[in-house]
């Protein structure tokens, strides 16, 4: 068996032991004689998988009692429209931070339902920096305040959270959920597509406070209403059974490896290694983002010329290191080093970076 080193931004690296466990259980799930893939979502077998994932999510992330953990379809992208559909209808206003590609997509969808107040706009600086979030001003009368904790393409990450008072704070944590502790009680809602830090694509985690669920208008189509899913424990319709099963295994492994504290140390170790390699390269590799807000998950860097970047990416691929090309909208290089990336994986990259710089 040969395993490459996976720096893809999403879908992204998962632990090899989990693939092996899934493979072992694929045809006969825990002696039931069925694959979980062909098992009813109303069965006792699936119930344990589903509720286990919900419970472990609550435990790992210290989610208070008055929140529901939902597993939906449609990706984080569907949340861009579900949020304003539920909380902004009738021309109401919400606060949004514009910090790059993903938050801007969320804004574009919100504007189809109501008005958007821009609280922070990083456009002028090319979305390469953020701010001390406690200085952000919340607008009185806003239905909610939306932010993107980690901009996956730009490689910037908020380091603290705003004080939003009675205005519910809603956050897209697709690319850094469960990578660091978060005061969940400060948030009205947190959502994340699974395929970066949690598991395969196909499931989206929504953590939503009960009072927000109560506000959802009954005029919405059933699936688009958070109330539908909260009441049915995400079993109103067929949930993404297989991704949720893999998420369950990922969470179980996290709990066994020191939970969130273990993850913070693991992630810091990796990002320090990579950023220090960039910094100690005498300007050969450069980080285009503000040092104060650089992401621990998506490390973007540039090289002296685009030709060298191309050569670097090609040679890395020949050495079985995949996904180092920056997003097509920004170019350059990007290494995504999510929770499941190993320290050894990052070391493979940094030693290649050093030898490439010496030779080129």
Ligand X SMILES: *Cc1c(COP(=O)(O)O)cnc(C)c1O
Binding site for ligand X (CB under 6 A): 10, 75-77, 102, 148, 152, 172, 174-175, 193, 196
Question: Among the options 102, 109, 176, 270, which is catalytic?
Answer: 102
161 is a catalytic site residue: no
How is 180-216 classified by DSSP, letter by letter?
S---GGG-SEEEEETTTTTSSTT-EEEEEEHHHHHHS
Question: Among the options 68, 98, 196, 227, which is catalytic?
Answer: 196
Rounded Cα gap, residues 134 and 124, in angstroms: 21
The answer to whether 334 and 9 are in contact (CB under 8 A) is yes
Rounded Cα gap, residues 91 and 265, in angstroms: 44
Q: C-alpha distances in angstroms, 155 versus 194, 232, 286, 354?
A: 18, 37, 13, 22
Assigned token pair, 45 = 């077998």
- Closest approach, Cβ 360 to ligand X, in A, equals 31
- Please name the helix (run of DSSP H) or strand (run of DSSP E) that holds residue 95, with its range, or none: strand 93-98
CB-nearer residue toward ligand X: 164 or 197: 197
Question: Among the options 68, 109, 158, 172, which is catalytic?
Answer: 172
Of 234, 267, 243, the residue nearest 194 (C-alpha): 243
- Closest approach, Cβ 193 to ligand X, in A, equals 3
Q: How many CA atoms lie within 13 A of 57 on its CB side?
A: 30
Rounded Cα gap, residues 288 and 330, in angstroms: 11
- Closest approach, Cβ 54 to ligand X, in A, equals 19
- Closest approach, Cβ 204 to ligand X, in A, equals 6
172 is a catalytic site residue: yes
CB-nearer residue toward ligand X: 152 or 225: 152
- Closest approach, Cβ 120 to ligand X, in A, equals 16
CB-nearer residue toward ligand X: 75 or 155: 75
CB-nearer residue toward ligand X: 136 or 153: 153
Based on the number of CB atoms within 10 Å of its own CB, is 93 exposed (0-12), middle (13-18) or buried (19 or more)? middle
CB-nearer residue toward ligand X: 9 or 167: 9
Among all residues, which ones are annotated catalytic?
102, 172, 196
């Amino acid at each position: 068996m040969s395993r490459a080193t996976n720096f893809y931004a999403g879908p992204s690296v998962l632990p090899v032991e989990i693939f092996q466990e899934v493979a072992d259980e694929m045809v006969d799930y825990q002696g039931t004689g069925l694959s979980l893939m062909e098992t009813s979502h109303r069965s006792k077998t699936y119930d344990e998988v589903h509720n286990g994932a919900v419970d472990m999510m609550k435990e790992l992330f210290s989610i208070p009692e008055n929140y529901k953990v939902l597993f939906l379809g449609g990706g984080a992208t569907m949340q861009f429209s579900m949020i304003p559909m539920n909380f902004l209808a009738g021309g109401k206003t919400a606060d949004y931070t514009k910090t790059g590609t993903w938050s801007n997509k969320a804004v574009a969808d919100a504007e189809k339902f109501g008005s958007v107040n821009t609280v922070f706009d990083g456009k002028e600086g090319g979305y390469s920096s953020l701010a001390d979030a406690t200085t952000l001003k919340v607008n009185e009368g806003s239905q909610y305040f939306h932010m993107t904790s980690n901009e996956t393409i730009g490689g910037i990450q908020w380091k603290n959270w705003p004080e939003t008072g009675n205005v519910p704070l809603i956050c897209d944590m697709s690319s850094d959920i469960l990578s660091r502790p978060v005061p969940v009680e400060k948030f009205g809602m947190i959502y994340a597509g699974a395929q970066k830090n949690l598991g395969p694509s196909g499931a989206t985690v929504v953590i939503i406070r009960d009072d927000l669920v109560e506000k959802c208008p009954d005029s919405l189509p059933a699936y688009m209403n958070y109330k539908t899913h909260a009441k049915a424990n995400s079993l109103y319709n067929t949930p993404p059974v297989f991704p949720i099963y893999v998420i369950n295994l990922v969470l179980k492994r996290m709990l066994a490896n020191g939970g969130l504290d273990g993850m913070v140390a693991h992630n810091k170790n990796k990002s320090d290694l990579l950023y220090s390699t960039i910094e100690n390269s005498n300007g050969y590799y450069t980080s285009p983002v503000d040092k104060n807000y650089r992401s621990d998950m998506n490390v973007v860097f540039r090289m002296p010329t685009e030709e060298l970047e191309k050569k670097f990416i090609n040679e890395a691929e020949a050495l079985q290191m995949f996904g180092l090309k920056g997003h097509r909208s920004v170019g350059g290089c990007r290494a995504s080093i999510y929770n499941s990336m190993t320290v050894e994986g990052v070391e493979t990259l940094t030693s290649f970076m050093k030898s490439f710089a010496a030779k080129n």
